[in-house]
C-alpha cells in the first residue's frame, strides 16, 4: 500500500510506503518480534532502575508521595510483563490496542511524575515512557511512534503548567 505525497492537478511528487499496514514477510515479522522482545527487556531494566531510585528517594525524604510512586511502578510492571509475554507469543493486539495503552501509560507516568516529585527529578517519567513510545513505533508504525512521542511530551508540559 502506498500513499501519495503532495501534487497538483492529479500529479504526485512521490509516494510513501505505509509499512505498518503492508503484509510482512516472515523475516520482517521475526525481526519485529525480536525488537519487541528487546524492548520488553529494556522495560524491565527501566522499571528496576526506577524502583531503586524511588526506594532511595523515599528513604531520604525527597519523594513527596511514595505510595503513588509505588502504585505507578506496580501498574507499569504488570503492563510490561503482560506486553512482553504477548510479544513473545506474537499477539496481534500489540499493534493497535497495545500501542494506545503504551502511549496512555507513558503520558500518565510523565504527568504523575510532576505530582510525586516536588523537584525537577524524573525517575518515573524518563526511561520507561521512552520505551513505550518506541514500542508503539515498532508495533504500530513510525507515524504512531511520532504521535505517541508528541502526546507524551505534551502531557509533561500540561502537568508542569498545572503544577
Res 7 pLDDT > 90: no
Query: Mean pLDDT throughout 55-84?
Result: 92
pLDDT for residue 114: 82
Question: Long-range contacts for 149-153 (Cβ within 8 Å, ≥24 apart)?
Answer: 151/103, 151/107, 152/103, 152/106, 152/107, 152/110
Cα–Cα distance for residue pair 69/123, rounded to 1 Å: 10
Q: How far is CA 43 from the centre of its chain?
A: 9
Query: Mean pLDDT throughout 50-71?
Result: 89
How is residue 111 written as a grid cell? 504527568
Question: Long-range contacts for 154-160 (Cβ within 8 Å, ≥24 apart)?
Answer: 154/107, 155/107, 155/108, 155/110, 155/111, 156/110, 156/111, 156/113, 156/114, 156/125, 158/111, 159/110, 159/111, 159/112, 159/113, 159/114, 159/115, 160/114
Cα–Cα distance for residue pair 91/94, rounded to 1 Å: 6
The dihedral over CA atoms of 72, 75, 77, 82, expressed in degrees to the nearest 10, equals -160
Q: What is the DSSP letter of 63?
A: -
Ranking 3-17, 63-77, 98-112, 133-147 by mean pLDDT, the lowest is 3-17
pLDDT band at 137 (very low <50, low <70, confident <90, very high): very high
Amino acid at each position: 500500500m502506498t500513499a501519495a505525497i503532495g501534487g497538483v492537478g492529479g500529479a504526485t511528487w512521490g509516494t510513501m510506503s505505509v509499512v505498518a499496514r503492508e503484509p510482512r514477510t516472515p523475516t520482517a515479522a521475526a525481526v519485529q518480534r525480536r525488537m519487541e522482545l528487546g524492548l520488553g527487556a529494556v522495560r524491565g531494566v527501566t522499571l528496576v532502575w526506577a524502583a531503586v531510585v524511588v526506594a532511595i528517594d523515599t528513604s531520604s525524604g525527597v519523594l513527596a508521595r511514595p505510595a503513588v510512586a509505588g502504585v505507578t511502578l506496580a501498574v507499569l510492571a504488570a503492563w510490561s510483563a503482560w506486553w512482553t509475554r504477548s510479544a513473545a507469543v506474537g499477539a496481534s493486539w500489540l499493534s493497535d490496542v497495545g500501542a494506545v495503552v503504551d502511549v496512555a501509560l507513558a503520558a500518565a507516568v510523565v504527568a504523575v511524575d510532576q505530582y510525586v516529585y516536588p523537584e525537577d527529578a524524573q525517575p518515573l517519567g524518563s526511561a520507561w515512557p521512552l520505551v513505550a513510545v518506541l514500542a508503539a513505533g515498532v508495533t504500530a508504525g513510525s507515524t504512531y511512534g511520532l504521535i505517541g512521542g508528541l502526546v507524551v511530551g505534551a502531557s509533561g508540559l500540561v502537568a508542569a503548567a498545572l503544577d
